[in-house]
Amino acid sequence: MSRWRTRTSKHFLWSSPVVQGLILCVVTFGVIMPICCHRLLYSYYFLNNFYLDSLSDAALQESIDRGQEALRFWQGVESSETLKDPEEMVSKEPDLLVTVVTARRSEGWDYHYLLQVTQRLMSLLKACGDKPCAKVILCDVESGPSLNEDVLLVEKHFQVVRRSPKERRKNREADNIFEREKRDYVFCLQKGWELIKPKNVVVLEDDALPMADFFPLVKNLLSRKFALNTLYIKLFHPERLQRYWNPEPYRILEWVGFGLFVATLLLITFSHCTPLSFTLSFSHLLFLTLYVMAVVELAGRHYLLEFRRLSPQLYAVSPATECCTPAMLFPGNASVRVAEYLGQAVCAQGNAKDMVLYKIARSTPGERAHSVEPNLIKHIGAFSSIRRNPPRPRII
């Protein structure tokens, strides 16, 4: 009995690694992280009830301010500059074609998403210097040429493609809105290829705001070997779905690898530079690996990914995820193949075009699809053009 007490008391001495590890966990997960992370939107510690509404309101206000500024910008350009015919400005066979798919939203009109995106693209194109980074066209999928006022405002600066009256009538025959959305996407892919014959294609939805280094990053992706044999590269994945605790198995490997790397550094530091009782043993390494993995998951993988923006070479490429197509890169003539694949599929609720594309890439022999992290665009659309919107949109 006395021997058991002696052994137990050893474990609960302040100098014991077990006690020190327990204290480390309590202080980290019970004190430090709640204080540091309770305002971080993509952290498990984020206090929705206290901060979500205020963060949503601030994001919506920022977007509407940016939209109004873009409106003033394009109105100023409209009145002060006389430009050439946009169709003459678009040269054939550019290295990169950016097709912006746009539709008029019945709600959130004051946000002017298309004007925000085209203003950013205009700025990024000017920063490219004498040699253009890309050619930009707008694909207006409205039912008529006069229904999307934002397109009318910028059509003197970018080439605009629209359906013929016969094509518009045929498109209205679609059974559901998801099928119409898919047909719109196919139309834009086909038209961009037929008119411009680009070497590579990026398709942006009109609420996909490119990051400041968008074109250098796309160029870097296209220079990598994997791009030669891929059907598409997704340039955006919702931040709320970027956690490690997800169906994507590659993230588990990244999670364990990061935990093991940082744990090794911590173990060396603890064993040589602190009075803590950790030693270079497997049990202590395992504990610190799990500790680090828990810290980065609870704090939010999204914030760890942001460090990759330090260099284009640090952006991670992984197998494609299912959700969302606001920004897609189609290397080579992949846009033609995607248009053909989608043209043969029927979309409906629960089987929208993003799910169809994901299934095609996984089931078609020889086809592969990838995602890049962190995101190359910011998704600014709080109001959908095809789905029912809540009375008060939220950012997550």
Which CATH number goes with the domain that contains 128?
3.90.550.10
Tally of domains within the chain: 1
Q: Which H helix or E strand runs over 295?
A: helix 282-299
Cis amide leading into 145 (omega within 30):
no
Burial state string for 299-318 with b = 16 or more CB within 10 A and e = fewer than 16: bbbbbbbeeeeeebeebeeb
pLDDT mean over 22-36: 94
CA dist., res. 314 & res. 95, Å (int): 23
- Bridge partners of 329, per DSSP, are 202, 233
In a domain, 351, yes or no: yes
Cα angle 247-249-255, degrees, rounded to a multiple of 5: 105
pLDDT tens figures, 40-57: 999 999 999 999 999 999
pLDDT mean over 262-272: 87
Whether the predicted pLDDT of 268 surpasses 70: yes
Whether the predicted pLDDT of 201 surpasses 70: yes
pLDDT mean over 195-220: 95
Mean of all residue pLDDT scores within the chain = 87
Output the CA–CA distances (angstroms, integers) from residue 380 to 78, 201, 209, in the order listed.
25, 22, 7
In a domain, 395, yes or no: no
In a domain, 363, yes or no: yes
Whether the predicted pLDDT of 377 surpasses 90: yes
Whether the predicted pLDDT of 85 surpasses 70: no
Q: Residue 173: its pLDDT value, please?
A: 66
**pLDDT band (50, 70, 90) for residue 82:** very low
**pLDDT band (50, 70, 90) for residue 381:** confident
In a domain, 299, yes or no: no
Q: Report whether 339 contacts 201 (CB < 8 A).
A: no
Whether the predicted pLDDT of 360 surpasses 80: yes
Whether the predicted pLDDT of 393 surpasses 80: no
Neighbours of 58 (CB within 10 A): 11
Q: What percent of the chain has pLDDT over 70?
A: 88
Whether the predicted pLDDT of 11 surpasses 50: no
pLDDT tens figures, 161-195: 988 877 777 766 677 888 888 999 999 999 999 99
CA dist., res. 119 & res. 117, Å (int): 5
In a domain, 258, yes or no: no
Contacts of 70 (CB under 8 A, 6+ apart): 112, 115, 116, 118, 119
In a domain, 101, yes or no: yes
In a domain, 232, yes or no: yes
Q: Residue 48: its pLDDT value, please?
A: 92
Give residue 353's region: left, alpha or beta (phi > 0; psi -120 to 50): alpha
Domain encompassing residue 313: 50-241+307-379
Contacts of 199 (CB under 8 A, 6+ apart): 93, 94, 95, 96, 332
Q: Which H helix or E strand runs over 372?
A: strand 369-373
Whether the predicted pLDDT of 83 surpasses 50: no
pLDDT mean over 107-129: 91
pLDDT mean over 271-294: 84
Output the CA–CA distances (angstroms, integers) from residue 390 to 102, 384, 395, in the order listed.
21, 10, 12
Neighbours of 290 (CB within 10 A): 14
Model confidence, pTM: 0.89
pLDDT mean over 223-241: 93
- Coil, strand, or helix at residue 205? strand
Q: Which H helix or E strand runs over 190?
A: helix 177-196
Return the HEC string of 122-180. HHHHHCCCCCCCCEEEEEECCCCCCCCHHHHHHCCCCEEECCCHHHHHHHCCCCCHHHH
CA dist., res. 293 & res. 122, Å (int): 42
pLDDT mean over 84-106: 75
pLDDT tens figures, 177-186: 888 889 999 9
Whether the predicted pLDDT of 146 surpasses 80: no
Of 209, 227, 180, 178, residue with least CA distance to 98: 209
**pLDDT band (50, 70, 90) for residue 108:** confident
In a domain, 38, yes or no: no
Among the listed ranges 10-19, 155-164, 204-213, 374-383, which one has the minimum average pLDDT value? 10-19
Q: What percent of the chain has pLDDT over 90?
A: 61
Whether the predicted pLDDT of 78 surpasses 60: no
**pLDDT band (50, 70, 90) for residue 77:** confident
